[in-house]
Structure 1
Amino acid sequence: MGALAESMGIEMTLEDGVVVGRMPVAGNTQPYGILHGGATAVLVESIGSVAAALTSPGKLSLGIEVGVTHHRAVREGYVTARTEPIHVGGTIVSYSVPVHDDEGRRIATGRLTCLLRDPQ
């Protein structure tokens, strides 16, 4: 999963071919006590990169673009994200990654594009 995702408390599961990530808000906040936008981006890229790698075993999945639109603030609990494929090609894979709070409200929408390439 990677040291950054682990240090942020991100947990991943595979549910019916969809990578799902869960992250605590505590420890991942900005100075105002709300979930840091960068933490949400790490969650999006972490689970999206794993999903991309699962589409092409043996290839490296390299994030080449990530973006997050934040819809609402979260101060406590956990956030959960799910990968939704937009495009799955031989070398480029893109995902929409909606992120929800414990109440099921969408707090952000992420987008990730990964390059799939052979290891060197």
Structure 2
Amino acid sequence: MSKVNSGMEFIAARGLGKLAAKMEIEILEFTPDRAVARMPVSGNTQPIGLVHGGAYAVLGETLGSMHANFLAPTDKVAVGVDINATHTSSATEGYVIGVCTPIRTGKSLTVHEIVITRDSDGARCSTVRITNFYKPQR
């Protein structure tokens, strides 16, 4: 596990990256058990005003990859090897909330599920699953 004391310290030390910053992704909670973030609908939409499916994938990968790295064995780094997203609804205003939980954390692979909902009514908009591979850190 990370050498910092908490998940929020890990995020502060590592950062989320430039893409997450452009999409205004904000971490709300980050523990060994789960990670939670929000992303504004505004600025992350398709031309017809719905959250872009790729934006859901970016939110999911940001949470899943960061959480996998937080849980990474010493001297290993997590890199994404597979991601999929199923969109079941959408949002047109406010924020969407991503809740990331590990499905399996092993020595070489980890799998996380990220459930993304509308902040207004909790309706599920997308379910993202990401698999990360742990490789030696250079």
Same fold (TM over 0.5): yes
Partner in structure 2 of residue 111 of structure 1? 129
1:17 deviates by 3.2
- Equivalent residue of 2:62, what SS? helix
> Once superposed, what is the RMSD of the aligned Cα atoms?
1.3
Alignment match, 2:39? 23
Partner of 1:4: 19
Question: Which residue number corresponds to residue 46 of structure 1?
Answer: 62
Q: Are the equivalent residues in 1 in contact too, given 2:45–2:52 (CA < 8 A)?
A: yes
- Aligned partner letter, 1:82: V
Amino acid at match of 1:11: E
Alignment-derived partner of residue 6 in structure 2? none
Structure 2 equivalent of residue 60 of structure 1: 77
One-letter identity of the residue aligned with 1:31: P
Distance apart, 1:112 and its partner CA: 0.4
Matched with 1:77 is 94
Deviation at 1:119, TM superposition (A): 1.4
Equivalent in the alignment of 2:11: none
Q: In structure 2, what is the Cα distance between the partners aligned to 1:18 and 1:88?
A: 12
Instruction: Check 1:52–1:16 CA distance in 2 against 1; reply closer, same or farther (3 A cut).
Output: closer
Per-residue Cα deviation, 1:29-75 (whole angstroms, up to 9, x for no partner)? 01111100000000000000011011125421111111110011210
Aligned pair count reads 120
Quote how far apart the aligned CAs of 1:86 are: 1.3
Gaps of 5+ in 2: 1-15
Consecutive unaligned residues in structure 1, runs of 5 or more: none
- Secondary structure at the aligned position of 1:6 is classed as helix
Instruction: Show structure 1 runs of 4+ deviating over 4 A.
Output: none
What residue identity is the alignment partner of 1:10? I
